[in-house]
Structure formats: C-alpha cells, structure tokens
Amino acid sequence: MKRCKRHLALATLCLAAAGQVDARYYDEVIDSGYIRIGTYRDFPPYSFEQDNLPAGVDIEVGKRIATALGVKLQVHWIIPDENLGDDLRNHVWKGHYLDKDPDTPLARKTLADVMMRVPYDRDYAYMRESTGELTNEQVVLFGPYQRESWRIAYDSQKIDEVSTVAVFQYHPIGTEVDSLPAFYLTSAFAGRLRKNTHHFPSMPAAFSAMKQGNVDAVMGMRAEVDWQLHQNSDSRYKIGENGFPMMGKQKWDLGMAVKQSYRQLGYAVEEVVDKMVRSGEMEKIYQNYGLTYEKPGLYQVVE
C-alpha cells in the first residue's frame, strides 16, 4: 500500500513538472552562460537564416545584448500565431501546449528569455478584457529600439512618380495578403484602388511580381521594402514620396517583451539597447542591411 502511494506521488510530481515552462530569472540566465532571444522565423530583414546561420537586424541586436551580459546568444525561433497576444503567451509567459523541448529534463516547455519586435505601445500594453482584467498582465513591454512605418516602391519605367496613392487607380500595385496595406488599398478612396490591388503571400513575392512586370509598385513595411531594394539594386526601382491619407496609425515603435516576473532581466537588456540607440550603434546595424533607421518616439522627444 505504501509502495502504491509512493508511486502515485511520484507520478503526480512528474506530471506537474512536465507541465512547467522553462522560464528564467536574470541570475539563471547569467549562470547558464546563454540568453534565449525570441525572433520571428523567415522574416527578413529582421530575422532569418542565411547560409544556415541566423541573420538579420534583430539577430545582430540579440548578439550585442548577449555580449554585453557576458553570455552566448541562443536563438528561439518564433512561428507567428493568429495574433500578437498568442505569440506572447506561447513564447514569453506560458508556452504552447504542443511545444516541448526533448533535451530538457521532463520535457519542459521552452520559452524565450526576451522576445524581439513587440509593439511598444501604451494602449496595447494596458488593453483590458471585457472583464476589466489586463490582457497583457503576464508580460512587460520595454526597450523601444526602432520606429517602423509603411513605404511604397515603384518601377520608374512604368510610373513617373508616386506623390499620392491615387495614382494606383491607373497602375497595379502588389502587397502582402491579409496585411494592413492590403486592407487600406482595397478600401481607401471609396474602393477605387481595389481592382488594381494584387495580393501576394509575402513581400519578396510581391517584389518579384514587380520585377516580372505583373505590378508596377509594391507597398509594405519600410524595412521590408528597403531590404528588397537593397537586394535588387536596380536604379529603376524607386521609393514613393507619398503619404497614406485615411490610414490611421502610420508609424509605430518596436521594442521587446519579458515575462512580468523577470523585470530584472528586462532592466539589464533595456540598458544595453538604450546605449545602442543613443550611441548610433543601432543605426549602423540597420544601415549594414541597407535599411532606413528611425529612432523611437521616446528618443525623438528627448532630443
């Protein structure tokens, strides 16, 4: 009988441990000798694989964070879920129910110590559920390091200039499917651009269509458009000088996230990133990838 009870207690302990997540405090990160940085997979120019090695601006930032803390970088690849809230839950504070690390004792779920490329937005950080509870109470958003925006690139052999999106009443334009630009281009100006808006699975696919002559322009995030121009250094492809009337929020800051109980780690990482932004090191990383860099609003206000 006692043996049965011991077996039952052991089984209960094992099941409880198997449901744990591999979340780590600052001291645990330092003692382990590595920091796990969460970045989105196949998301150039931010984070992707090149010659079977991690590359991209977020990887470079992660390397500098690791060096400053005296540890090695371990990349935690993130495959996006339906929304950002799902990504934060799956990779920062709880873990996906299907995600198990086979190399970890008792198959504990693996989390990122720090997640990159999270909107640094007060409204999002303090968003509440219908019950009044904070939606993101389990995470801390911190460390803004870049301001992103939208951009158009066009084929100058097909269009003389793009000073207004109204030109796409007469010229086809490509964008990523289910993106904000896709919604904007099909609904702005009473839908007059809809028939000339073409949807593609990714920005590289849209840019490829422009090179093949299927569309005359592409619209996407500034860094993604810059990256495509950098990769295809043909002077015929130029940047539009237009704005985006009726689009709403056209610029947003990007930062990082940690689990709310690991603020000490967040403070240490934030200090590193802050120095990079102020010293110009962050801008150099973006320039090395052929990207336009804009400081987050916090630094623009200070300056």
Domain 20-147+252-302 in this protein, CATH class: alpha beta
Average pLDDT of the chain is 86
How many alpha carbons lie under 13 Å from residue 303 in its C-beta half-sphere?
9
> Is 149-239 the same fold as 20-147+252-302?
yes
Q: What is the arithmetic mean of pLDDT over 51-76?
A: 97
User: Six-digit token pair at 13?
Assistant: 């302990």
Homologous superfamily (CATH) for 149-239: Periplasmic binding protein-like II (3.40.190.10)
User: Six-digit token pair at 140?
Assistant: 């801390």
Structural domain spans, the chain? 20-147+252-302, 149-239
Q: What is the arithmetic mean of pLDDT over 35-43?
A: 96
Q: What is the pTM of this model?
A: 0.85
Check whether 200 has a pLDDT greater than 60: yes
Return the pLDDT at 8: 35
Q: What is the arithmetic mean of pLDDT over 58-75?
A: 98
The greatest distance separating any two alpha carbons of the chain, rounded to the nearest whole angstrom, comes to: 87
**pLDDT category of residue 16 using cuts at 50, 70 and 90:** very low
Q: What is the arithmetic mean of pLDDT over 267-296?
A: 97
